[in-house]
Amino acid sequence: MNLFTNKELLTAARKGGYAVGAFNINNLEILQAIVSAAESEKSPAIIAVSEGAIQYAGLPYIVSMVQIAARYASVPLSLHLDHGRDLKVIQSCIEHGFTSVMIDGSHLPFDENTAVTRKVVEMAREKGTSVEGELGRLKGIEDKVSVTGQEAFLTDPGSAEEFVKKTGVDALAIAIGTSHGAYKFKGEARLDFERLREIAARVEIPLVLHGASGVPRPILEKAERFGAKLSGAKGIPDEAIQKAISLGICKINIDTDLRLSFVSALREILSTKPEEFDPRKILGPGREAIKETVQSKMRLFGSSGKAG
Ligand code: G3H
Ligand code: 13P
Ligand code: ZN
């Protein structure tokens, strides 16, 4: 198969009432784990690559690996730039065959975010590359912060409507209380579903949830059993993810859960088999652990079985 665009994958998801997972890769093993999970689940998958991943692995390696994976895969995949901020990197990704790019102008004032996002939409048009924009900031919802303080960074529904109209983006990442990483909430997990409902009522394009990892207890406990120090780590409950999908979220970004799965498997091998020094015997279980996690996400997102 050729790579699909996010627009193609997410339009189908919106119609079908499910979400497609966007899973971050940094190396061969993570990519293989995601593709293998997608094939086992008969699910589409978005291969997400951050600017940091490009710096780490190199753009030609990333693109070649993902193109080969897509050519032999029996399920649709897309290649997506996650949190693009540097216009030169974005341009380079478009030229190298990424089928989707994210322009993250969420740290900028509304007008500047709109202008830079509009610019990327124009850059992407010729090749038909999909574009994801972001409005609102991912900082979680904290009990101690005032409601007006929170509103300043959660996505405003009216501004979302205006942003989509003015920029022409294909997908919009919104802030409703999630945040990146393993420490999302101090107390109870809280997401602003009413805000999501209002945004979905005003915005026609697919909506995206970043910072959506669940930080599953069993994975956390395994990592800690073998020496990890992750006290206070907490993610988004599965029920909240399902509710977000029912209210219009079509793309869900997961990185932290893959990192935790990989590292907990590596820690186990390194501490139970200290005589082992074959990288394949160390990285292989890490790859298997990511595959299991990705499969469970695909079932949770409802994308299992949606790739024929
Ligand atoms: O949201 C960011 C992703 O988890 C990628 O993280 O920039 O460390 O590669 P990174
Ligand atoms: P997590 O850190 O919750 O996995 O979020 C990943 C993400 O949003 C990547 O863009
Ligand atoms: Zn993100």
pLDDT confidence of residue 150:
74
**Ligand 1: does its nearest atom lie under 6 Å from the Cβ of 24?**
yes
Q: Which of the four pLDDT bands, split at 50, 70 and 90, describes residue 146?
A: confident
CB atoms within 10 A of CB 209: 27
Mean pLDDT to the nearest integer, 129-140 = 94
Task: Give me ligand 2 centre to Cα 22, in Å.
Answer: 9
Per residue in 156-208, pLDDT tens?
A: 999 999 999 999 999 999 999 999 999 999 888 899 999 999 999 999 999 99
Is the minimum distance from the CB of 53 to ligand 1 under 6 angstroms? yes
List of residues 6+ apart from 8 with CB closer than 8 A: 76, 78
Q: Which residue's alpha carbon is at the smallest distance from atom 6 of ligand 1?
A: 50
pLDDT at 144: 67
Element (H, E) at 308: none
Output the pLDDT for position 67.
Answer: 98
Active centre residues (catalytic): 82
Two structure tokens written together for 174: 């919104």
Q: Is the CB of 85 under 6 A from ligand 1?
A: no
Can you give the pLDDT at residue 183? Answer: 96
CB 46 within 8 A of CB 251: yes
> Shortest CA distance to 268 belongs to which of 230, 232, 227, 216?
227
**pLDDT tens, 48-93?**
999 999 999 999 999 999 999 999 999 999 999 999 999 999 999 9
The candidate with the shortest Cα–Cα distance to 80, out of 25, 138, 14, is 25
Which residues share a beta bridge with 46? 22, 78
The yes-or-no verdict on residue 114 having pLDDT over 80 is yes
CB atoms within 10 A of CB 105: 24
Q: Could you tell me which residue, 139 or 114, shows the higher pLDDT?
A: 114
d(CA 282, CA 287): 9
φ, ψ of residue 191 in degrees (nearest 5): -125, 150
pLDDT at 139: 84
Give the per-residue pLDDT at 155: 97
Distance, in Å, from the CA atom of 296 to the CA atom of 299, rounded to the nearest integer, reads 5
The three-point CA angle 214-215-216 to 5° equals 90
In testing the pocket of ligand 2, which one of 139, 183, 255 has its CB within 8 Å of the most ligand atoms? 255
Tell me which H or E stretch contains 23: strand 20-24
Cα 273 to ligand 1 centre (Å): 30
**Which ranges constitute the DSSP H helices of the chain?**
6-16, 28-41, 51-57, 59-72, 87-96, 110-125, 147-151, 157-167, 193-202, 217-225, 238-246, 256-272, 279-301
Cα 180 to ligand 2 centre (Å): 5
Atom of ligand 1 nearest to the CA of 210: 1
Minimum-distance ligand 2 atom for the alpha carbon of 182: 2
**pLDDT above 90: residue 148:** no
Measured in degrees and rounded to the nearest 5, phi and psi for residue 230 equal -135, 35
Residue 113: pLDDT band (50, 70, 90) is very high
For ligand 1, is residue 213 a contact (CB within 6 Å)? no
Residue 86 CB: number of other CB atoms within 10 A?
Answer: 11
Q: Is the pLDDT of residue 149 over 90?
A: no
**Which ligand has the shortest distance to the CA of 211?**
2
Residue 68 Cα to chain centre, angstroms: 21
Given a contact cutoff of 8 angstroms between Cβ atoms, the answer to whether 228 and 261 are in contact is: no
Split at pLDDT 50, 70, 90, the class of 40 is very high
Pocket test for ligand 2, best of 213, 230, 293 (most atoms within 8 A of CB): 213
Distance CA 54, CA 68 (A): 17
83 Cα to the center of ligand 3, angstroms: 6
What amino acid occupies position 280?
R
198 alpha carbon – ligand 2 mean position (Å): 23
> What integer pLDDT is reported at residue 106 of this predicted model?
97
Which residues form the pocket of ligand 2, taking CB atoms under 6 Å from any ligand atom?
A: 24, 82-83, 180-181, 210-213, 253-257
Residue 240 is predicted with a pLDDT of 98
Q: Which CATH class is domain 6-301?
A: alpha beta
Q: Compute how many other C-beta atoms are within 10 angstroms of the C-beta atom of residue 2.
A: 10
Q: What is the pLDDT of residue 121?
A: 98
Q: Is the model's pLDDT at 125 over the cut of 70?
A: yes
pLDDT on residue 142: 72
Q: What is the pLDDT of residue 213?
A: 98
* Residue 145 pLDDT greater than 80, yes or no: no
Determine contact, residues 203/168, Cβ cutoff 8 Å: no
Residue 170: CA count within 13 A, CB half-sphere: 23
